[in-house]
Chain A
Amino acid sequence: MTSERTRTDLILSARGLNLSRDGVALLKSVSVDIRRGSVTLLLGYNGAGKTLLLSCLHGLIEQDSGQISAPPRDRQKMVFQKPIIMRRTARRHLQFVCPGLPDDQLADWMKRAGIDDRIDAPARALSGGEQQKLALVGALAARPDILFLDEPTAHLDFAATKFIEEMIHEAHDQGTTIVMTSHNRAQAERLGQDVLLLDAGTLVESGPANRFFSAPRHPLSKQYLEHL
């Protein structure tokens, strides 16, 4: 989407990513550029390869071929669709995922997430929404350069979704680059500045979100937007 942009604008650049498992091509020569400070929405049907691409970009899965240029691992964070929560208190979970976080900042993050009264409760006893908030503040508290979010509001109610979106906005305002997947068109339009559309492991279209939603270029994009 950014062939016209200079490389210095980019925080992450991937070229020709290929990934196969058991003879099935899951990512097919995918190339993406992520602008520094942008919110990029990764869209596509279930099984299109969104989570796989996110995992490759974050370095959780090694691609068979292709190259990725990204910030160092300690400057990246990822929040999973199903939050991975440790068997310890919410406070100790945050201390684990964000080592060195001062106590006052930790308490402040919990307060902003509205779960400060559960700070010493077992983290796994929190509700699904509270666990997702905990996972998100655990990632944001580290002030990463780039944050990967895999359907961060899937299965969440309106209030929790609103909170997560506010936190994404705030992180973005403070300069964090966001790359996230979503199946929610309204959310994609609210948050997205750039869009990448994947279909069966192939990057179908990429570009500015407003242009993508108003005038998609690829037939598959038009078809996808009709269903979204």
Chain B
Amino acid sequence: MDILTPFQIALTLLATGDAELMSTITLSLLVSLTAVVTSLLIGLPLGAVLAAYRFPGRTPLIVISNTFLGMPPVVIGLLIYLLISRAGPFGFLGILYTPAAMMLAQTVLVLPISIALSRQAFESLNGEYALLFQSLGLGRLARIRALVFEARAALLTIALVCFGRAISEVGAVMIVGGNIRHSTRVMTTSIALATSMGELAYAMALGIVLLLVALAVNIASQLLRNSFRNLGHDV
């Protein structure tokens, strides 16, 4: 295979606005961004509470959350599959082999990352600001709100890490999504399929497109960071 062929195919696919590619990119972004937003909505407050307060059960919570950091995606996919398959306890939802199942799997996958990283960021900031907050007599909610605002630059990085993990994931979404054309096929499962069919140039082209999508998201986040800085927010 000519080394330039994948690039030519990737450029052609993008330039012609290949309908199948576009729908695959759209679904990939939809699934991954939904998973990232959901995991941040759950993970950030949990991370802040774990960082700022000591309570019974805190250490086991941290240990369990950290254990899930090392959980292989296929195992998470399998667990979700067992839960939402027709015979499973949540089979009545009927979401197996739908984008919703893929969002759920990716959320479970990146949630431990958002908890662990946000806890670390909040712990560091809480150590820095604890005396000031105490001196000002801030209540719990006000402290957490202030910590979240102060950690905004770190949170942007956490969101990017979560997005990177979600968009590049293949095992779990393959198991619960099924890689159904025009329905649950995302970029990574398309690459896996193309590779198994021997269409290496097409698979590589999809990989390049995936990288370009990740690059676009990172550029957008950098622009956001710069706009913070222009507003004098010192991030």
Binds B, one of A5-13, A120-128, A163-171: A120-128
- Check if B87 is an interface residue, CB within 8 A of chain A: no
Give the size range of A's interface with the partner.
20 to 34
Distance between A151 CB and nearest chain B CB, rounded to angstroms:
15
A74 and B137 contact, Cβ closer than 8 Å, known pairs A84-B128, A84-B132: yes
Interface 1/0 per residue, B124-149 and A, CB below 8 Å: 00001101101111000000001001
Contact (Cβ within 8 A) B135 A87? no
- Chain B residues contacting A89 (CB-CB under 8 Å) are 231-234
Partner of B136 from the list A97, A124, A125 (CB cut-off 8 Å) is A97
> Which residue of chain B is the closest to A142 with respect to CB atoms?
B136
Interface of B is mostly: helix
- Check if A60 is an interface residue, CB within 8 A of chain B: yes
- Chain B residues contacting A124 (CB-CB under 8 Å) are 234
- Check if B215 is an interface residue, CB within 8 A of chain A: no
Distance between B142 CB and nearest chain A CB, rounded to angstroms:
10
Distance between A38 CB and nearest chain B CB, rounded to angstroms:
21
Question: In the complex, A145 Cα to B135 Cα: how many Å?
Answer: 14
Contact (Cβ within 8 A) A121 B232? yes
Contact (Cβ within 8 A) B135 A58? yes
Contact (Cβ within 8 A) B135 A125? no
Interface 1/0 per residue, A51-64 and B, CB below 8 Å: 00001001110000
- Chain B residues contacting A55 (CB-CB under 8 Å) are 131
Q: Which A85-127 residues have C-beta < 8 A from chain B?
A: 86-89, 96-97, 120-125
Distance between B225 CB and nearest chain A CB, rounded to angstroms:
13
A88 and B233 contact, Cβ closer than 8 Å, known pairs A73-B137, A74-B137, A77-B135: yes
- Check if B235 is an interface residue, CB within 8 A of chain A: yes
Distance between B115 CB and nearest chain A CB, rounded to angstroms:
22
Question: In the complex, A124 Cα to B149 Cα: how many Å?
Answer: 15
> Which residue of chain B is the closest to A83 with respect to CB atoms?
B132
Question: In the complex, A120 Cα to B230 Cα: how many Å?
Answer: 10
Question: In the complex, A88 Cα to B129 Cα: how many Å?
Answer: 13
> Which residue of chain A is the closest to B231 with respect to CB atoms?
A89
A87 and B234 contact, Cβ closer than 8 Å, known pairs A73-B137, A96-B146: yes
A78 and B233 contact, Cβ closer than 8 Å, known pairs A86-B150, A87-B150, A96-B146: no
- Check if A80 is an interface residue, CB within 8 A of chain B: yes
Distance between B157 CB and nearest chain A CB, rounded to angstroms:
14
Contact (Cβ within 8 A) B131 A60? yes
Q: Closest 6 CB pairs between A and B?
A: A122-B234, A84-B132, A89-B232, A73-B137, A78-B135, A87-B150
Which residues does B use to contact A, with CB under 8 Å?
128-129, 131-132, 134-137, 146, 149-150, 153, 231-235
In the assembled complex, 29 residue pairs joining A and B whose CB atoms fall closer than 8 Å, in A order, are: A55-B131, A58-B135, A60-B131, A60-B135, A73-B137, A74-B137, A76-B135, A78-B135, A80-B131, A84-B131, A86-B146, A88-B149, A88-B150, A88-B232, A88-B233, A88-B234, A89-B231, A89-B232, A89-B233, A89-B234, A96-B146, A97-B132, A120-B232, A121-B232, A122-B232, A122-B233, A122-B234, A123-B234, A125-B234
